[in-house]
């Protein structure tokens, strides 16, 4: 057992209990979401000693130097003195400038945030509500120096954050936006490499940005996008993506629906299965997998087994807070 101190209070961290688990158990008001080390919303700082290395995985070098770490990934080896980061250290102020529906359950939200100009399409940010609730959302557009970030938000039944965004937030409202993070984005090297993009639901958000980035940067290799949902009405941007496929000879778009018989122009079945059936030789391809965590982890394994190098597999699993 170890002791963690936050401000004036001290808590006992049980064996195999993370710092986040302890603080939640003790009813401490701390931000968190995925609890898997992905979203970084439980970032906290050790003020007296370097935190365990594993708890700093994925953080920037500058954050590591300042002893920031992820509370959900930290199993203390000795007593620790902690400090919660200031709101201004983590978040910038954004303003909603567009709020419209992409389909019956997907919202297009554009947030202007002049402090965030440098990012890669496909990275994600954490959005924070005034009461402190945080969720991660992927950036769907390439930077255009206008400070506008685009998000695709799927409404989940009883989803605390997504329902709030769908039902309550409006143009002109302010919202806190964290720094962009994550490694799922396009790098303009090996322009003739095949790019395979597979996404479910709003997994299209990071993929749409990656696609735009790759095509606009003159990627010459084949680019294939498999976007899957249950029904045609759950897909979105179909016409736009079809136009893209007309415009760019090297781009092919495969909209897939898993619970309907195929109507013309659509593939019946799941996007990941359709991609596996379509791909002949995976060797040398770069693969991007975004959306449902089960699809992402099973396709990561599949791509590797098919001969794709691990360094060429980029993933964005939409792990949930629940």
Ligand X SMILES: Cc1cc2nc3c(=O)[nH]c(=O)nc-3n(C[C@H](O)[C@H](O)[C@H](O)COP(=O)(O)OP(=O)(O)OC[C@H]3O[C@@H](n4cnc5c(N)ncnc54)[C@H](O)[C@@H]3O)c2cc1C
Binding site for ligand X (CB under 6 A): 34, 38-39, 124, 135-138, 151-154, 156, 158-162, 202, 205, 316, 318-322
Name the residue number minimizing CB distance to ligand X: 159
Min dist CB 123 to ligand X, Å, is 9
Residue of 221, 251, 255, 218 lying closest to 235 (CA atoms): 255
Min dist CB 103 to ligand X, Å, is 12
Pick between residue 92 and residue 320 the one whose CB is nearest to ligand X: 320
Q: How far apart are CA 322 and CA 319, in angstroms?
A: 9
| Residue at token pair 């984005």 | 185
Is residue 182 a contact partner of residue 122, using CB atoms and an 8 Å limit?
yes
The sign of the torsion formed by the CA atoms of 131, 110, 162, 71 equals negative
Q: Locate 272 and state its tokens.
A: 């990941």
Q: How far apart are CA 25 and CA 13, in angstroms?
A: 10
Min dist CB 169 to ligand X, Å, is 13
In angstroms and rounded to an integer, the radius of gyration of the C-alpha atoms of the chain is 21
Q: How far apart are CA 55 and CA 80, in angstroms?
A: 13
Min dist CB 281 to ligand X, Å, is 30
Is residue 198 a contact partner of residue 275, using CB atoms and an 8 Å limit?
yes
Pick between residue 128 and residue 202 the one whose CB is nearest to ligand X: 202
Pick between residue 80 and residue 295 the one whose CB is nearest to ligand X: 295
Min dist CB 215 to ligand X, Å, is 20
Residue of 159, 175, 168 lying closest to 97 (CA atoms): 175
Is residue 52 a contact partner of residue 75, using CB atoms and an 8 Å limit?
yes
Q: How far apart are CA 226 and CA 83, in angstroms?
A: 44
Min dist CB 316 to ligand X, Å, is 5
In what helix (H) or strand (E) does residue 267 lie, and over which residues does it extend? strand 267-268
Min dist CB 10 to ligand X, Å, is 30
Is residue 84 a contact partner of residue 149, using CB atoms and an 8 Å limit?
no
Pick between residue 2 and residue 320 the one whose CB is nearest to ligand X: 320
Pick between residue 18 and residue 136 the one whose CB is nearest to ligand X: 136
Pick between residue 238 and residue 321 the one whose CB is nearest to ligand X: 321
Pick between residue 76 and residue 209 the one whose CB is nearest to ligand X: 209
Min dist CB 122 to ligand X, Å, is 10
Pick between residue 6 and residue 109 the one whose CB is nearest to ligand X: 109
Is residue 136 a contact partner of residue 119, using CB atoms and an 8 Å limit?
no
Residues in CB range of 8: below 8 A, 6 or more apart: none
């Amino acid at each position: 057992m170890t002791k963690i101190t936050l401000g004036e209070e001290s808590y006992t961290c049980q064996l195999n209990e993370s710092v986040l688990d302890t603080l939640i158990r003790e009813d401490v008001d701390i931000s968190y979401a995925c609890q898997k080390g992905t979203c970084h919303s439980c970032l906290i700082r050790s003020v007296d000693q370097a935190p365990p290395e594993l708890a700093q995985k994925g953080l920037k070098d500058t954050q590591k130097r300042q002893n920031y770490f992820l509370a959900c990934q930290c199993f203390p080896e000795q007593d620790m003195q902690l400090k919660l980061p200031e709101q201004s250290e983590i978040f910038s102020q954004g303003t909603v400038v567009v709020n419209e529906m992409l389909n019956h359950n997907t919202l297009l939200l554009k947030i202007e945030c002049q402090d965030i100009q440098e990012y890669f399409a496909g990275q994600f940010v954490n959005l924070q509500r005034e009461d402190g609730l945080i969720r991660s959302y992927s950036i769907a557009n390439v930077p255009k120096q206008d400070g506008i970030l685009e998000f695709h938000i799927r409404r989940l039944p009883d989803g605390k954050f997504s329902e709030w965004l769908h039902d309550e937030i409006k143009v002109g409202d302010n919202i806190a936006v964290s720094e962009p993070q994550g490694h799922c984005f396009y790098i303009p090297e090996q322009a003739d490499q095949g790019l395979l993009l597979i996404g479910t639901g709003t997994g299209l958000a990071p993929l749409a940005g990656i696609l735009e980035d790759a095509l606009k940067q003159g990627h010459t290799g084949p680019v294939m996008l498999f976007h899957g949902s249950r029904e045609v009405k759950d897909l979105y941007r179909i016409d736009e993506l079809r136009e893209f496929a007309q415009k760019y000879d090297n781009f092919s778009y495969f909209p897939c629906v898993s619970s309907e018989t195929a109507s013309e122009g659509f593939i019946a079945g799941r996007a990941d299965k359709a991609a596996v059936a379509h791909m002949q030789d995976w060797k040398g391809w770069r693969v991007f997998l975004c959306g449902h965590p089960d699809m992402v982890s099973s396709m990561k394994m599949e791509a590797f087994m098919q001969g794709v190098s691990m360094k060429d597999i980029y993933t964005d699993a939409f792990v949930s807070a629940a």
